Each structure stands twice: as C-alpha cells, then as structure tokens.
C-alpha cells in the first residue's frame, strides 16, 4: 500500500464581528505553507486551503478531510486564526462568521477537531495551531471569559486515535492571553504575532535548516526544535509546545540542504526478505551483510545498503537498530585535519596549499566541497583534497569549505594572514585591506570558487606540480609506528609472561596434590615463582594498551605528517597488540582472583 500525504490549511484573517480583530498574517502564511508543503522536492503533500470560511464550511471541510483515509496516509491540519475560550474553558477556532456570544453555534470547537482526529483511519495525523494569542473578542461578550488561560495541548491530548499509528499537536504558544481596550481589542505590542510561528515552519522546511540531524529528511522532532528556537529568538514571550503519541519517527519533508545525491541500487530481494524476517538471527545476519555492501566501491550499491540500514535503524528492535546505527556512523564525513592555518603569507606570492585526507569507505569519501570565500580553491586528490589560498588580498583571511555527503555535512575552517609584499610601503591603490570576514572588497566575496566533487572512484586525481622553489610538506614522523611496534612487543611479552605463569601454577598445583592434607598451595605457588610472571603480564599488557592508544591518537592528530604506509602499519600493529594484550590481561586478572579466593581452602 503506497503512502499518501494530505494537508488542510485553514486561514481566517477577516471577521464580520467588529469585536474580532483583523489578522495580518494568515493569508500570506497560508500561501507560503501551501507552496512548501505541495513542493514534491520538499513536503510532497496534496494540499487544500480554506480561506475565510464560515463555521459550517470549516466543519464540513475538517470532517471530510479526516474521513475515508487509509492506514498508510499521513494527514496535516494547520489552523491560522483567532482562538477563543468559552466560559467553561473550552477552546474554539474562530470562523469568518463567528459571534463571540454564540461560540457553540458559530465557531469550531476543539472537541470537534479532536473527535475527527480520533476516529480517522489515517496512520498519522499532525495538527499545527497558529492562533492569535493577543486577544480575539469584544469585552461586552457575556458568554466568553476575558481572563485566564487555556492549556491548548490539554484540549487535544485526551483521546488517542482508535486505528492510526499516532498523532501530534504543535502549538504556537502554551496558553491563550487576552487584552481589551473598551469594546475593541488592545494593540499589545508584546503579544505574539501568529506569523512568527508559521513563518518559522515555512522557512525551516523550505531552506532545509530544520533538518537538524542532517539525515536528508525533516522529522517532526527536527521541525519542532527548529521552530522553538526561531520563535523564542524573535519573541521571548511566546513558547511553542508539542504533544505527541507516535510509533516510530514521522518525516514531514525532504531536506534541501544540498547533499550529494546517488541513485541507489536496491539490495538483493533475498537480503530484503531477511531484513523483514521474524527471526532475530536472520535479521542480524542481514545487517552484517548490509555492512559489507556499505563498504562497496560501487557507490550505488553502497547507497542502497545505506538506505536499507537507515530503515533498520528506525524500525527494528534496539539491539539490531544499534548495529545498523553503528554501521551508518562509519560513513560520516571525517576530514583530517578539519582546521587549516596557513600562517603568515606574503602578498602576491605563489598560492599556498595544504592537504586534507578523507577517511572511511568510498561512500564516506564521496562528497561535494563548496568553498565559501573567493580566495579559497579546492582540488580533488586520490585521498581527499588540496586547499589553496590566493594571496592577492592583504589582511586576515578566515573562511570555510563546506563538505556535503550522502549522509551528513562537515566544515573545514581555513585561516591565513597575508602581509604586504617586501619593499611595499603599505597598502597600494586598489589593494585595500580585506573586510572582517576575510572577503576582498568591492564584492569579491560573491565570486566563490566552484563546487568540486571529491572522492568519485571514476575521477582520477588531477596531477599537481609543486611550485618552483617549494618543497612538499614533510611526512617523516615515525613516532606513531614506533609506539605501535613497542605496543606489539609489550603485548607479546605479556603473552609470554602469562604462559610462564600458567606453567608454574600447574606445577605448583601438581605438587600440592601429592602432599595430601599436609600441603599448602600458597607455599607451592611461591616456591615455583608463579606470581612474578603473572604480575609482569599485568604490567606489560596494560602498558601495551596505553602505547597503542597513544600511537592511534598521534596518528589521528598528525595525519599530515605520516605516509600512507606508516599509517597502515600503525593501524595494523596496534590492532594486533590490542588483540593480544586484552586476552592476556583478562586471563591474568582471572588467575589472580582464583589464587586469592582459592588459596586459603587448599
């Protein structure tokens, strides 16, 4: 059953009752929200807008919107209008013909909306309430209270849908406050404006900035967190609220944050069948196979595995979902280093360059590099990219290179200081200092360097010839390989000491067995010297782990000072050392515990 997405936007800004203030935002907000929700590249909703409708028409459209739905449907209902409170404390939505003294007959009660949400067969329903919280009715009304608060969420969190998978309500504020001046509403400048909330929703979806976890989709939680921050920054008196009962994560839109797109090759049908199996071990095996496909050099194959792993991470039980999440973490962008400081450069000198290595499998290395300043240039290499700084402009330069991959984004920060050329008396005509952001004056910041694709397996790296008179950066640091070798030697020594301790302990226990009731195992252990190699094993094993950790830390933080061969040797040696030292330490600790516990009884 294919999923369908439907949205109903109700926007009322004109009212026949003179006591109801005309609203400025709903019409514009409804048009902007309709555009972003209907866009197939963003929301992909089938959208209907009801503008300045009567109460009867609003009820008809709302009930019709929730009727005749399927479990695969996602529904979104948005209100932008006045919110009214009856004397009994119930929330009503104002229609164009609403009369405050006759709310039950001329407005739409929240209970009616809640009832429609409760009985719909749609899988998921989302309600956005952007009501006017500055006051909405005349002081002379006898059936409406002009003070006190309405807890909006309590009006909707009472009934759970009978057949759907969940519901969510997001409100522009947590309560409704009223202000009057004579028979008309007061113009309270501190009262929140409804456009703040809906504008934040539209902006977050349209720009993709609401995609906070950078997974290419805007979830309900992402959108709420983004809207909350935006609204609070613009109006501290307004606090959006959320209530939800959802099974799984609800994605409202696709992100337009410019990530690289790869047409995925789906995993084999047999593997997809294993992913949906009821057997735990079968699904676990499917995840392991997807992990292997994630490392594939053919990017469409790896992308297909990534999409399947994301599905597992969202929907499976915690243990298997954790395995999938760990696998996905290995394809996050990992540039090294992520901060480049070119130091002091001479104006007009040959453009300087530094290298950045992209780590991980091919899918993690495949990304788009976008320099944000015109004085930055990026060239792809076999292992990552080269960053070049143009020295045509004097001053302090500070800029960023944004890397966008299939799964996330990363930023490489670049700094440099360009000093006047030797012999110049200062800043000459037409070569004024850069502005505060490191951009050249006269609009130079608009001429950004072109976007470059990094790590495409079929794109050979561009050969680079070092400028005359310059030498390549040194790559002769052997500290990490030396530490890794020492770690391996210590781990081997720990294994040898453990074997010796075990041999001596066996001899001591054999001798104790021949002595009968008059023997003492502690004396036999000391006589054969079994404790000394055991202690040596503990010490050398621990030191081996520490040396290996230091080697790995040095390798990560000084990647540019190591050749590929040195890095590979370091990783191999530390892995072997760890594989020997940890079992040796565990067995030595267990032997020590057995000696302490058992010796008094022998």
> How far apart (Å, rounded) are the C-alpha atoms in residues 294 and 360?
11
94 shares a domain with 37: yes
Taking the CA atoms of residue 158, residue 164, residue 170 and residue 175 in that order, the dihedral angle to the nearest 10 degrees is -10
241 shares a domain with 200: yes
In a domain, 555, yes or no: yes
Q: What is the pTM of this model?
A: 0.46
My answer on whether omega of the bond before 337 falls inside 30° of 0, hence cis, is yes
How distant, in Å, are the alpha carbons of 231, 284, 334, 374, 578 from that of 222?
14, 29, 24, 33, 40
pLDDT more than 70, % of the chain: 76
pLDDT more than 90, % of the chain: 18
Domain that holds residue 130: 4-254
Residue 150 reports pLDDT greater than 60: no
Per DSSP, the three-state class of 342 is strand
Indicate which CATH number applies to the domain containing 410.
2.60.40.10
Residues 273-328 have pLDDT tens digits of 888 888 888 988 999 999 999 988 888 898 888 888 988 888 888 888 889 889 88
Per DSSP, the three-state class of 355 is strand
122 shares a domain with 88: yes
In a domain, 183, yes or no: yes
**Per-residue confidence (pLDDT) for residue 157, from 0 to 100:** 53
pLDDT band at 66 (very low <50, low <70, confident <90, very high): very high
At what angle are helices 194-207 and 220-234 packed, to 10 degrees? 130
Q: Which of 39-53, 297-311, 432-446 has the lowest mean pLDDT?
A: 432-446
Sign of CA dihedral 553, 558, 564, 566: negative
229, 254, 279 - which closes a domain:
254
Per DSSP, the three-state class of 210 is coil
384, 419, 454 - which closes a domain:
454
Both tokens assigned to 11: 């926007």
Taking the CA atoms of residue 469, residue 475, residue 477 and residue 482 in that order, the dihedral angle to the nearest 10 degrees is -150
Per DSSP, the three-state class of 459 is coil
- The number of folded domains in the chain is 4
Residues 345-388 have pLDDT tens digits of 888 888 788 999 988 888 888 888 878 888 888 888 888 888 98
Neighbours of 377 (CB within 10 A): 18
> How far apart (Å, rounded) are the C-alpha atoms in residues 403 and 538?
45
User: 219: which strand partners?
Assistant: 251
**Per-residue confidence (pLDDT) for residue 429, from 0 to 100:** 38
The residue ranking higher by pLDDT, 443 or 586, is 586
User: HSE-up of 96 (CA within 13 Å, CB side)?
Assistant: 14
What b-and-e string marks burial along 217-229, b requiring 16 or more CB atoms within 10 Å of the CB? bbbbbbbbbbbbe
CB 28 within 8 A of CB 9: no
CB 52 within 8 A of CB 12: yes
Give mean pLDDT, residues 184-191: 39
417 shares a domain with 401: yes
Ranges 56-70, 381-395, 415-429, most confident: 56-70
**Per-residue confidence (pLDDT) for residue 260, from 0 to 100:** 64
Residue matched to tokens 């194959």: 301
**Per-residue confidence (pLDDT) for residue 451, from 0 to 100:** 62
In a domain, 474, yes or no: no
> How far apart (Å, rounded) are the C-alpha atoms in residues 454 and 369?
7
> 214: phi > 0 → left, psi -120 to 50 → alpha, else beta; which?
left
> How far apart (Å, rounded) are the C-alpha atoms in residues 368 and 26?
39
Residue 5 reports pLDDT greater than 90: yes
In a domain, 467, yes or no: no
**Per-residue confidence (pLDDT) for residue 466, from 0 to 100:** 46
Task: Determine the distance from the C-alpha atom of residue 543 to the mean position of all C-alpha atoms in its chain, rounded to a whole number.
Answer: 37
In a domain, 261, yes or no: no
How would you classify the pairing of strands 124-132 and 166-171? Answer: parallel
In a domain, 472, yes or no: no
291 shares a domain with 378: no
**Per-residue confidence (pLDDT) for residue 261, from 0 to 100:** 67
Residue-by-residue DSSP string for 128-165: EEEEE-S--S-TT-SSB--SS---TGGGTSS---SSSS
435 shares a domain with 531: no
> What sections of 376-467 are H helices per DSSP?
none
Ranges 163-172, 175-184, 403-412, most confident: 403-412
368 shares a domain with 244: no
254, 278, 293 - which closes a domain:
254
> How far apart (Å, rounded) are the C-alpha atoms in residues 361 and 359?
7
How would you classify the pairing of strands 339-346 and 367-371? Answer: unpaired
Nearest to 492 by CA among 563, 573, 567: 573
In a domain, 186, yes or no: yes
**Per-residue confidence (pLDDT) for residue 235, from 0 to 100:** 80
231 shares a domain with 364: no
Indicate which CATH number applies to the domain containing 101.
3.40.50.1460
The residue ranking higher by pLDDT, 428 or 526, is 526
**Per-residue confidence (pLDDT) for residue 191, from 0 to 100:** 42
Per DSSP, the three-state class of 260 is coil
H/E stretch holding 73 reads strand 73-85
Nearest to 598 by CA among 508, 535, 515: 508
**Per-residue confidence (pLDDT) for residue 58, from 0 to 100:** 96
Residue 53 reports pLDDT greater than 50: yes
User: 367: which strand partners?
Assistant: 454
What is the CA angle 356-360-363, rounded to 5?
Answer: 105
341 shares a domain with 323: no
83 shares a domain with 158: yes
210 shares a domain with 84: yes
> How far apart (Å, rounded) are the C-alpha atoms in residues 309 and 311?
5
Nearest to 74 by CA among 1, 129, 125: 125
In a domain, 471, yes or no: no
> At residue 395, what are phi and psi to the nearest 5 degrees?
115, -175
Specify the DSSP class assigned to residue 569: H
**Per-residue confidence (pLDDT) for residue 601, from 0 to 100:** 56
542 shares a domain with 439: no
> 80: phi > 0 → left, psi -120 to 50 → alpha, else beta; which?
beta
């Amino acid at each position: 059953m294919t999923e369908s997405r439907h949205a109903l936007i109700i926007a009322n800004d004109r009212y026949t009752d003179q006591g109801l203030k005309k609203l400025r935002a709903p019409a514009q907000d409804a048009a902007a929200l309709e555009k972003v929700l209907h866009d197939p590249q963003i929301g992909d909703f089938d959208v209907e807008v009801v503008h300045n409708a009567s109460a009867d028409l609003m009820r008809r459209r709302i009930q019709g919107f929730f009727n005749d739905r399927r479990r695969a449907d996602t529904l979104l209902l948005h209100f932008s209008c006045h919110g009214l409170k009856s004397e009994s404390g119930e929330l009503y939505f104002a229609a164009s013909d609403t009369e405050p003294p006759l709310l039950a007959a001329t407005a739409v009660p929240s209970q009616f909306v809640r009832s429609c949400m409760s009985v719909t067969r749609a899988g998921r329903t989302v309600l956005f309430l952007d009501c006017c919280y500055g006051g909405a009715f005349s002081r002379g009304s006898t059936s409406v209270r002009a003070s006190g608060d309405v807890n909006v969420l309590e009006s909707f969190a009472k009934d759970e849908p009978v057949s759907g998978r969940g519901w969510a309500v997001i409100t522009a504020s947590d309560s409704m406050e009223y202000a009057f001046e004579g028979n008309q509403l007061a113009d309270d400048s501190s009262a929140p404006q409804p456009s703040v909330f809906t504008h934040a929703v539209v902006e977050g979806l349209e720009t993709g900035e609401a995609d906070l976890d950078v997974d290419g989709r805007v979830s309900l939680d992402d959108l709420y967190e983004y809207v909350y921050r935006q609204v609070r920054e613009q109006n501290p008196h307004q606090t959006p609220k959320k209530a939800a009962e959802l099974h799984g994560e609800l994605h409202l839109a696709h992100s337009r944050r410019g990530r690289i797109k790869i047409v995925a090759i789906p995993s084999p049908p047999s593997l997809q069948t294993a992913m949906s199996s009821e057997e735990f071990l079968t699904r676990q095996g499917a995840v392991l196979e997807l992990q292997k496909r994630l490392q594939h050099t053919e990017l469409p194959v790896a992308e297909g595995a990534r999409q399947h792993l994301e599905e597992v991470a969202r929907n499976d039980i915690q243990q298997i979902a954790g395995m999938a999440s760990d696998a996905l973490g290995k394809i996050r962008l990992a540039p090294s280093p992520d901060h480049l400081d070119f130091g002091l450069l001479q104006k007009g000198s040959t453009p300087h360059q530094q290298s950045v290595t992209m780590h991980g499998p091919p899918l993690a290395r495949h990304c788009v590099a976008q320099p944000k300043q015109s004085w930055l240039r990026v060239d792809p290499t076999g292992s990552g990219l080269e960053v070049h700084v143009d020295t045509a402009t004097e001053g302090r330069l500070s800029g960023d290179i944004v890397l966008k991959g299939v799964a996330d984004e990363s930023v490489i920060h670049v700094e440099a200081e360009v000093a006047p050329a030797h012999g110049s008396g200062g800043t000459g005509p037409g070569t004024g200092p850069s502005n505060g952001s490191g951009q050249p004056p006269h609009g130079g910041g608009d001429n950004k360097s072109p976007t470059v694709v990094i790590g495409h397996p079929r794109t050979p790296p561009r050969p680079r010839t070092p400028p005359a008179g310059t030498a390549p950066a040194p790559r002769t640091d052997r500290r990490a390989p030396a530490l890794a070798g020492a770690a391996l030697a210590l781990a081997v020594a720990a294994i040898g000491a453990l074997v010796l301790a075990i041999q001596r302990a066996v001899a001591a226990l054999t001798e104790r067995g021949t002595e009968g009731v008059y023997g003492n195992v502690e004396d036999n252990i000391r006589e054969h010297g079994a404790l000394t190699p055991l202690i040596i094993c503990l010490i050398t094993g621990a030191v081996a782990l520490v040396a290996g950790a230091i080697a790995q830390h040095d390798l990560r933080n000084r990647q540019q000072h190591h050749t590929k061969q040195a890095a590979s040797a370091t990783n191999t040696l530390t892995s072997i050392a760890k594989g020997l030292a940890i079992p040796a330490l565990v067995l030595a600790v267990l032997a020590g515990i057995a000696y302490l516990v058992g010796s008094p009884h022998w």
